[in-house]
Amino acid sequence: MSETTMNEDLLEHEERKSLESREFGFWVYLMTDAIIFALLFASYVVLSKNSAAGPTSKDVFDLSHTAGETALLLFSSLTFGLATIAMSLGQTGRVVQWLFVTLALGLGFLAMEMIEFSGMIGQGAGPETSGFLSAFFTLVGTHGLHVAFGVIGICVMIGQVLVKGLTIPVRSRLFRLGLFWHFLDIVWIGIFSVVYLPGVM
């Protein structure tokens, strides 16, 4: 074996090791993010009945709207999974296609959330109205902000897959973005189970 190929092997080995530690670091980040969300859930549960004689959760929540948002996020988790499968098969075109579908579903979710928020604020149920609404907008808004960052991440990764191809670092980044995206869907399970479903009962 010549010296250059040995050096290349060593380099690739080092690269894999460094990417593995980044994947572990990203997992640690997700766990800390889960703790932030858990505490926002706790504040919401404590404040959810404090509507200060203003609109209550029954007045402002629309379950069919929530069902639509849930469907969009769940489908986007599946399509991201299909992009991951295409990545493991090395099908660049398929990866980009599924990422575009995921992007569209993510944007649809954000649009629905914007409509919901602006409708509530228009009805006089903005975050300044009561403790219940402050906690609601903080919790659901933080999740929406995460989805917005995920959408930006998908745009960046579509660009990277198209320009760089499915190289080892690109695969690792796409894998980490997938973890983030699936994690956001898990947080959404908590939101509809803690906020919306008990809110309309």
Among candidate residues 109, 104, 111, the one with its CA nearest the CA of residue 187: 109
Shortest distance in whole angstroms from residue 190 CB to other proteins: 7
Residue 160, burial from CB neighbour count under 10 angstroms (0-12, 13-18, 19+) = middle
Give the C-alpha separation, 56 to 58, whole Å: 5
Shortest distance in whole angstroms from residue 193 CB to other proteins: 4
Cβ-Cβ contacts under 8 Å for 133 (sequence gap 6 or more): 51, 54, 55, 60, 120, 125, 126, 127
155 close to 175: Cβ distance less than 8 angstroms: no
Shortest distance in whole angstroms from residue 46 CB to other proteins: 5
Task: Please report, as ranges, the residues that interact with other proteins according to CB under 8 A.
Answer: 24, 27-28, 31-32, 34-35, 38-39, 41-43, 45-46, 63, 67, 70, 74, 77-78, 81-82, 84-85, 88-89, 179, 182-183, 185-186, 189-190, 192-194, 197-198, 200-201
Shortest distance in whole angstroms from residue 52 CB to other proteins: 16
Shorter beta-carbon distance to other proteins: residue 100 or 192: 192
Shorter beta-carbon distance to other proteins: residue 45 or 121: 45
Shortest distance in whole angstroms from residue 195 CB to other proteins: 11
Shorter beta-carbon distance to other proteins: residue 100 or 182: 182
Give the C-alpha separation, 137 to 48, whole Å: 11
Give the C-alpha separation, 166 to 124, whole Å: 49
Shortest distance in whole angstroms from residue 192 CB to other proteins: 8
Q: Quote the distance between the C-alpha of residue 54 and its chain's center.
A: 31
Give the C-alpha separation, 73 to 185, whole Å: 6
Shorter beta-carbon distance to other proteins: residue 88 or 118: 88
